[in-house]
Structure formats: structure tokens, C-alpha cells
Amino acid sequence: MRPLTWFAVGIYAFLHVPLLILCAFSFNSSRFTIWEEFSLEWYRQMFTDAQLGEEALNSLLIAAASTVLATVIGTLCSYGLWKKQAKWLSGSLYLSLVTPEIISGISLLAFFQWAFRHWQFQLGMHTVILAHVAFSISYVVLVVMARLRTAEPALEEAALDLGANEWQAFWLVTLPMLRPGIMAAALLAFTVSFDDYVITSLVAGVDSETLPMVLYAMARRGANPVVSAISALIFVGFGALILISERLQKT
Amino acid sequence: MKHLRAMFLAPSVFFTVVLFLIPLTIIVSYSLRTRGVYGGVVDPWTIENYARLFDPLYGMIMVRSVFMSLAATALCLLAGFPTALFIVRNEKHKSLLLNLIMLPFWTSFLVRTYAWMFLLRDTGLINSALIAMGIIKEPLPLLYNETAVIVGLVYGYLPFAVLPIFSNLERLDKALLEAAADLGAKPWETMFHVVLPLCAPGLRAAGVLVFIPCLGAYLTPDLLGGGKSIMIGNLIQNQFTTARDWPFGSAISLALMAGVMVLLIVLIRRDGEEAL
């Protein structure tokens, strides 16, 4: 093989081997990183941990709610921006995309604390969902906009000429065309929400611990094969989600 | 049309204003105020928080963050360019190879970072293997240092480097390469005098796209760096939690934000908005 190929093989190994090793060792019966024998012990522990189940459910609920909201809001926004530019809005959305997560997190925390002084509410699931919608919208706009750039405005004009009103032109002509983009955007919104630790940990309340928050706490505490098992499950789950969505987009 | 468009934009305008612009404004106002006795934010207005950024104690952390991010960015470009070149030259499997680069990116960032803790810690796979083979007796201190953080950053953001370089290479006019060869250039001469200069916009975009998240990194230095290798992100988090000095934390955040924006503006001025 040529040197370039060797180099590329090395890079692909660097990207994938650590995750594959982690998955493999989640089936190791020993707590330590020396292979003993095949075992599903850590998976058993994971599935019988009631608290872990609750936190995984929280994560799923938050991801589902924020994905639906962000996808709808972001798609409408992209369409509006496609019709006529609004520099300050697209600029703000872009800025929120490049803002380091820690800054989004602390500014939302400061905002919620400030709002608590005027209205009676506390940190909880709702603040986490609001925060997730806020950072997911710009991802959705990014993906849907890319799709809209290739769309043909003449199709809508034709629909309008043929007597459709603006709503019908949007709903019956442009929206169906955007479906693959919207699905890709929703998938992205779901994964960034499900995965988020930095912002969530700052705006979560006592009743809204999420899976990444537990994973983080367990990882901090030291070697724990249950973390490997959860990781393997997330890896496989996300992989399946992407494969399914690619299939759906092709049909 | 006006009404429909206004209705369509209303929810995103609401979220952007209420949950992005107003919170940022609050941070700006906090950065100009004083820390209260019990950690709150009180008047008088002051610019002292910004002056403290130049305190050697904090300045060191910022300088180190910049150097670590530069190191990670340089490594990403060095690894990303040949990888992108390899993908472009493999016409047949191009989309598979690209997807494989993006695949880890779709996995949880936390899981990816944990994978490196699993490899690097004292009882981790690398140390266990080396001890089992009898090469070392005591575990090597692989985790909780700056090298571990840089490895984690490269691992996390390498896909951001490969993609822009790849799309730049793909747009390259093949005729120019043939012309160089016809005129007697050796392959490496073509590489350095033709391909690399033409790839400069892609390399710049890749550099900025990797450098920005590295500079604002929080999880990677937190989990792989331990207490001694903290970066700006950890310093900010610390001011808002343990230290309870929100005004100073806000000032650091805005300094970081300013750095990010200057970089983006410089890049967009140079290469246009399509650069990103």
C-alpha cells in the first residue's frame, strides 16, 4: 500500500478503535481492563437500575419535546428567511451556533435566575427543554436552509398562479419538497439534545437529571463498566437511528 | 405574504431574543458590576472585572488555552489534509469514507471522551496491557495532563477539519495538476506549489472551525485534564459555581466570545461568507 493509504488507515483507526474497544470491554466479566470472560453482568446492572431508567426517560422526554418544537420553529423560520432575508435574525442564529456551550449555559442560568425574581418558577424539566429548543433551532435552520437553497421558487409561483393561496403553496408545494431536510434536521436536533451535558447541567433542577449527567458523574468517580455498557448502547442506538433515517430519506 | 412570513418568523424571533440575546445582555451587564458578599451581583458599576483578566493567575490559563487549542488545531490540519486527500482520490468509496469520518461525531461527545479515559487511566487498557506484557512495572501517568486534553480535542474535532478540506480539494481543477505534471513538476512539487496553495481557503476554514470549539472546550479538559490542565471554559464554569463570582465569570465569557467573533470576522472578510 502507498504511504497515503497507510496514513488514512491510521486516522480511521484513531477515530474508531477507542469506541470499539469500549464496546468490547462492556462484555467483560471483570471490573478491570484485563479480559476475563464474556458476561452480560454490566448490562443486567444497567437495566435493573431504577434511577438510571428514570434519568434515561428524562433524557428521552426532553429530547423528544425539544426536537418537535425546534424542528417546527426552525423549519418555519427557514421558510420565512428564504422568502426574504432578515440579516439580524440569521446573524443571531449563526452566532448562537458558534457560541461556546459553556457561555450559552451560564447566560441561560443567569437569565433564569433573573426571571425567577419576577415570576414564581424554578429550574426543572421545562427550563431544560427551553434551553434545548433555543440551541437546537439554529441547527435546524442550518440544515433546512441548505435544502431550501436548492429549491425552485418558480414552483410556488406556479401554484399561486393556478389559484393556491400562500398557505397552500407552502403546505402543498414547498413543505413536501423539504421533507428529507426536515427529517435530517430533526435527527440532528434529537442527537444534540440527547447528548448535551454542559448546558443541561447548568439549567437542570433536582427533578430533571438526564442520562449525560449521570454518565458524567459516573465517569468522574472512576472506572465503571456500567458506563461502558451505557456507552455501547448509546453508540448502537444512535447508529440505528441514523441508518433508519437514511433508509427513510431514500424512499 | 407579509402576514404569513411574520407568523412564520415570530416563534424563532421570540426564542432568539428571549433565550439568546437577552441572556447575553444580562451577562454583559453582570460583567460590569460587582460581586456581592454572598456571591450575588450588586452595584456599583465597574470595569475591574476586565482588568482582572490580565491578572497573571487567570492570564496564564487563557494563554495556555490558546496554545493547547493551537496545538490541537495544527494536529487536526496535519491529520485532516492527507485524510481528505485520500478520500478525494478514492472516487468509488467516497461517501462511505466520508460517513466513517462523521460516524463518531454522531455518537455522544461524553461517550467519546469516556472512551479515552478508559484507555488512558492508570488502570486503563494501555497501562494494563503494558504491565501485562512486562514492559513497565508502574502505570504511566497518561491521563490528567495537557497531552491527554490535546488528544481528546483532536479526537473530538478532527471531522470539522476533514470536511472543509475535502470539499475544497474536490472543487480543485484537475487540469492544473496535469499541467504541473506536464511541465515537469514532481508529485511532491505539485503538492507544495499547486495543491496546497489552492487549498488554502479550505485549510483556513478548517483551522477556524476546529480552533473555535477547542478554545471554548469544557468537557474535554474537565474529564481528561484533571485540575492542573484547566482551560477557559472550566474557569468560566468555576466562577459561576464554586467561586460564585458571576461578574468575573461574565467578563471572561465575553472575552472568549470576542475572540471567537474576531476570528470569524477575519475569516469571512478574507474568504467570504461561503467560507464556512
B25 lies in some domain? no
Let me know if residue B158 belongs to a domain: yes
Question: Which pLDDT band, with edges at 50, 70 and 90, does B96 fall under?
Answer: confident
Q: Is B65 on the interface with A (CB under 8 A)?
A: no
In this prediction, residue B36 carries a pLDDT of: 80
From the list A7, A72, A219, the residue facing B114 with the nearest CB is A219
Is the CB of A242 less than 8 angstroms away from the CB of B106? yes
3-state DSSP call for residue B272? coil
Q: What is the mean pLDDT of residues A65-72?
A: 97
Contact status, residue B4 vs residue A167, Cβ threshold 8 Å: yes
Residue B210 forms part of a structural domain: yes
Selected residue with higher pLDDT from B47 and A246 = B47
Domain ranges within chain A, ordered by starting residue: 65-207
CA–CA dist B97, B103 (Å, integer): 10
Candidates B218, B229, B219, B226; CA nearest to B110 is B219
ipTM score for this prediction: 0.89
Q: What is the CATH number of the domain that holds B241?
A: 1.10.3720.10
Q: Label residue B2 by pLDDT band (50, 70, 90).
A: low
Total domain count, chain B: 1
pLDDT of residue B67: 96
Residue A76 to residue B111, Cβ atoms within 8 A: no
DSSP A172: I
Q: Which residue has the cell 490542565?
A: B229
Which tens digit of pLDDT belongs to each residue from B145-179? Answer: 889 999 999 999 999 999 999 999 988 888 888 88
Give the fold, CATH level 3, of A65-207: MetI-like fold (1.10.3720)
Question: Which residue of A lies nearest to B80 if distances are taken between CA atoms?
Answer: A11
Residues 6+ apart with CB under 8 A from A194: A59, A60, A62, A63, A211, A212, B108
A147-175 pLDDT per residue, tens: 898 888 888 889 888 988 888 888 998 89
Q: Is B206 within a domain?
A: yes
How many residues does this entry show for chain A? 251
**Is B15 within 8 Å of A19 when comparing Cβ atoms?**
no
Tell me: the pLDDT tens digits for B188-241?
888 888 888 889 999 999 999 999 999 999 999 999 998 778 899 999 999 998
Work out whether the CA dihedral A161, A167, A173, A177 comes out positive or negative. Answer: positive
Residue among A199, A207, A55, A195 at smallest CA distance from A134: A199
Query: CA-CA distance, B220 to B218, in Å (whole number)?
Result: 6
CB contacts under 8 A, B 172-211 vs A, are: none
Most confident range (mean pLDDT) of A23-37, A60-74, A203-217, B233-247 is: A60-74
Question: What pLDDT is attached to residue A153?
Answer: 84
Q: How many beta-carbon pairs below 8 A join chains A and B?
A: 222
Residue B66 lies in a domain: yes
Of A18, A22, A73, nearest to B11 by CB-CB distance is A73
Query: Residue B149 falls within a domain, yes or no?
Result: yes
| Tens of pLDDT, residues A184-228 | 899 989 999 999 999 999 998 878 889 999 889 988 887 788 888
Contact A127, B18 (CB under 8 A): no
| Closest-CA residue to A81 (of A154, A137, A160) | A137
Q: Which of A15, A83, A98 has its CB closest to that of B212?
A: A98
What cell does A160 get? 399561486
Interchain contact, B118 vs A18, CB within 8 Å: yes
Residue B49 lies in a domain: no
Check A216 against B110: CB less than 8 A apart.
Answer: yes
Domain membership of residue B192 as a residue range: 56-275
B7 falls within a domain = no
Residues in chain B: 276
Q: Which member of B7, B212, B237 has the closest CB to residue A102?
A: B237
Cβ–Cβ gap A101/B132 under 8 Å: no
Q: Provide, as residue numbers in chain A, all residues whose Cβ is less than 8 Å from the Cβ of B237.
A: 102, 106
Tell whether omega for the bond before B44 is within 30 degrees of 0, i.e. cis: yes
* Residue of A5, A21, A141 with shortest CB distance to B125: A21
Coil, helix or strand at residue A180: helix
